[in-house]
Structure 1
Amino acid sequence: MSQIALPLEQNPKADHGRYLVTAANAEVHQHLQHWGDWSHHTMILTGPEASGKTTMAAAFEADSGGMCIDDASQYEDTEIFHLWNRANGEKQPLLLLSAKPVSEWGVELPDLQSRLAASFHLEIGAPDQAMIDGLFQKYFAMRGLTISADALAYLEKRMIRSYSMVQKLAKKMDALAIETKKPINLAIAKSALTFFDADGEKVKA
């Protein structure tokens, strides 16, 4: 369930070294720090693939002692119903994660529908430029590498702006750097981008 850690404004910063915070996820970050204010002690956090929901949830769980449910849409209605009731009764936070909005969970239990509707909802926004740059930098820093400024500038103007695309490009640039024994530079960035089509799908082996 591991994901690239998430990345205020143009200078991304790490929260205790666990994930990065930019305008794209700053609101989520703030509310995770103030879980005592959540409606019925439950928050539903949605966001696209690879947007860092699991990473943020792990940090929240360690800090709050609350419970996190990943892929909440895959659980039975009765399971979520009982967890919601327990969180509300014990006043302990419950964080429900999903890539899908609640409207797409297929909830059939009326009592659960009303409880989820009354809960606090937040969505991780699309990645801003500070987020994208921060994610690339974090990915390569974890491998003892750096990505050049001109490579970042090149990708900024041409890549699909999504969390999953950052992940795909970072892995491809990493592989190319190993194959060619070169640093993560402009040439590597250009080569990596040619492996993906306009929808971000792989077009070369």
Structure 2
Amino acid sequence: MAEQLGFDLPSRTALGRDAFFVAPSNAMALAMIDTWPNWAGGKLVLTGPTGAGKTHLTHVWATVSNATIIKAADVQGADIPTLAQGPVAVEDIPTIAGNSEAETALFHLHNMTLAEGHTLLLTGTPPVAGWGLHLPDLMSRLQGTTAASLEAPDDALLAALLVKLLADRQLMPKPALITYLLGRMDRSFAAAIDLVARLDAASLARKKPITIKLAAAVLDKAPPNT
């Protein structure tokens, strides 16, 4: 069968529950999501490395809870009373650290959502203590929130992630390619995301399928010998 060539098609990220690969590194976080709506205090903090699956789990939860998802940077200009009428997920909270107006807006959203009897999911890369928020009342409320962390990936999860990222770009890798990449790449979610983007770009630029030979060229930052 002929090798599959890459085409410049839009990337479609699969964010459903069936596309979330469960492994020891993320099973606890998934279990905590599944305990909704019985979260202590009506809220949960989700942390973990870039690309670990925080956004994916947020969408899984939003589907179940019918929650609104909003970036922390967008809360300041949002209609907070309307948002507070249902469950809310606020992503990337450390991005507003030091922005007094944004932190105050998030503080009001936090209080109004809980007062209305709804739930909050709050995400950031480091643990809450490292979010760098300056508003004491907001920081104290978030530090008192139950937290679930997605940990660094093992080989099984990295392999599943590589397959998923390639599939999101309408690419179907051979098992040998995944094995090769696992043996050469940096061991992180962010590295997997970056590598797949570079592989896809190289495949499109050269009009060649993503083979081990092309992958070697991308990893070595050298053009292939074809």
* TM-score between both structures, scaled by the size of structure 2: 0.72
The question of 1:52 aligning with 2:24 is answered no
The question of 1:183 aligning with 2:185 is answered no
The question of 1:94 aligning with 2:120 is answered yes
Contact 1:46–1:123 (Cα < 8 Å) also in 2: yes
Post-superposition offset of 1:5: 5.9
Contact 1:41–1:87 (Cα < 8 Å) also in 2: no
Distance 1:45 1:130, change over 3 A: same
Distance 1:128 1:3, change over 3 A: farther
Contact 2:129–2:143 (Cα < 8 Å) also in 1: no
1:65-76 alignment runs, 5 A limit: 65=66, 66-73=87-94, 74=96, 76=102
Distance 1:93 1:192, change over 3 A: same
Gaps in structure 1 of 5+ consecutive residues = 7-13, 197-205
Post-superposition offset of 1:4: 6.0
Contact 2:26–2:151 (Cα < 8 Å) also in 1: yes
Q: Deviations over 1:42-61 (max 9, x none)?
A: 11111222223222212211
Residue 125 of structure 1 aligns to which amino acid in structure 2?
A: E
Post-superposition offset of 1:3: 10
1:52-201 alignment runs, 5 A limit: 52-65=53-66, 66-73=87-94, 74=96, 76-195=102-221
Contact 1:15–1:21 (Cα < 8 Å) also in 2: no
Q: Deviations over 1:87-110 (max 9, x none)?
A: 433332101111233222333443
Residue 90 of structure 2 aligns to which amino acid in structure 1?
A: I
1:10 match: none
What is the CA RMSD across the aligned residues, in angstroms? 2.6
Structure 1: distance between partners of 2:30 and 2:18: 12
Secondary structure, in 3 states, of the residue corresponding to 1:35? coil
Q: Deviations over 1:134-184 (max 9, x none)?
A: 121112223332222222222222211111110111111112223333332
Residue 91 of structure 2 aligns to which amino acid in structure 1?
A: D
Post-superposition offset of 1:15: 2.2
Structure 1: distance between partners of 2:14 and 2:190: 12
Gaps in structure 2 of 5+ consecutive residues = 1-10, 67-86
Q: What is the percent sequence identity of the aligned residues?
A: 33
Q: Deviations over 1:59-85 (max 9, x none)?
A: 211211320111223163332322332
Matched residue pairs, number? 187
Give the structure, 1 or 2, with the largest relative contact order (CA under 8 Å, sep 6 or more). 2
Residue 101 of structure 1 aligns to which amino acid in structure 2?
A: P
Contact 2:45–2:123 (Cα < 8 Å) also in 1: yes
Larger Cα Rg: Structure 1 or Structure 2? 2
Secondary structure, in 3 states, of the residue corresponding to 1:44? strand
* TM-score between both structures, scaled by the size of structure 1: 0.78
